[in-house]
Chains A and B, each alone.
Chain A
Amino acid sequence: MTAQASERLIYGGKDIRLCSNPLSLYLKQTGIKFESPSTACWRGYIGTWEIIESAGVERLYLVELSAHRSYEEIVGVSDIFPGFDRVFAHWFTGELRCPQGALLDYVHGGYSSTYEYDLFLEIKKGLVINQRAVHNKARS
């Protein structure tokens, strides 16, 4: 398996790598499937997510999408969420992993490569409820 292209997350004004797929559940529930354009993106799409604060609460939003309905046809957010060009990801509960810093260990598969830091955001029904950072070390 090839290392997979990550999602993107805009958080605190920074554009960072997101090694989680918050869209999976929505696609599963709606039965929407995409074509893989290459071995580096088996899921067939790359989403851009943003944490937006409102009234002291941070929420997860899908703000951009580049999804391959076929190899040539690329669709966006409004194609899979009719009437919306951005959406609140209220279906997502779990942990988002955002690796940052230098690449310490490259693994040729999935999101398994190790970077200097991992920022973990704990999400409950689309709301950020906790976060923590982990300092990784290269495998000797």
Chain B
Amino acid sequence: MSIHWNDWITWLYAYLGVGLMTALTFYGFSLKDRPTQFVKDMRSALGLGKTLKDHLQDIFVYSIAMLVICVGWPGFLVWAALKKREDRMRELKEDEPTFICKPEFLVRTVSPLEAEQANHVHDPLGLVPKVPFGHLNGPWGRFLAEFGFEDGNELWYFEVPKGESSGEYDIFDGPICGYAKVVKGKVCGEFIVEGG
């Protein structure tokens, strides 16, 4: 039997064949997301198990989806690629560390020496170490160690007004100030000196 590639019906079969392969592949992937037997049992115990109507509805929805993918698989592949990219971008954004210091809170650039000279803590009872930043000297040292003094990295003093904090720092409601590592205008690290 020979294939007649100059026949349009051959091309149609080939097109639908690729579509069917695509649909089956994605159906295979969707099976991975099925609830486990444990979840199914839990749902049944809670009276939320699937009825015959639900099963028929699933079969109908899957059939329509397979048919649509078989016919319009190029569009489906583009949509799937865009969605994957969007999910990846969202994951990257969620993994990014959050900082209380936003660019609008940056006040001025300083050198580490200037920062240390401005943060000697005095206590008449002697209940603070006589080093820059007092009890926060250790965290300051770690901040500097991670700073990386390459060209383009800047140390900025920042001030966050009361009521402007956000994210994980909601535990602090007072005004907050400290030092930030800024690279090309983007805050990449921060060290908080005072807050409450």
Contacts and interface: CB of A to CB of B under 8 A. Distances in A.
B159 to A, nearest CB: 11
Given A24-B171, A29-B139, A92 B196 contact: yes
A94 B128 CA distance: 20
A108 interface: no
Given A52-B125, A88-B123, A93-B175, A30 B196 contact: no
B172 interface: yes
B127 A88 contact: yes
Interface stretch (A10-18, A53-61, A129-137): A53-61
Interface string B136-147: 101100000000
B192 A87 contact: no
A30 B138 CA distance: 8
B172 A94 contact: yes
A29 B192 contact: yes
Contact of A25 (B124, B134, B172, B175): B172
Interface of B: 121, 123-125, 127-129, 134-136, 138-139, 162, 169, 171-177, 191-196
Interface of A: 20-22, 24-26, 28-30, 52, 54-55, 59, 61, 81, 83-84, 86-88, 90-95, 123, 125
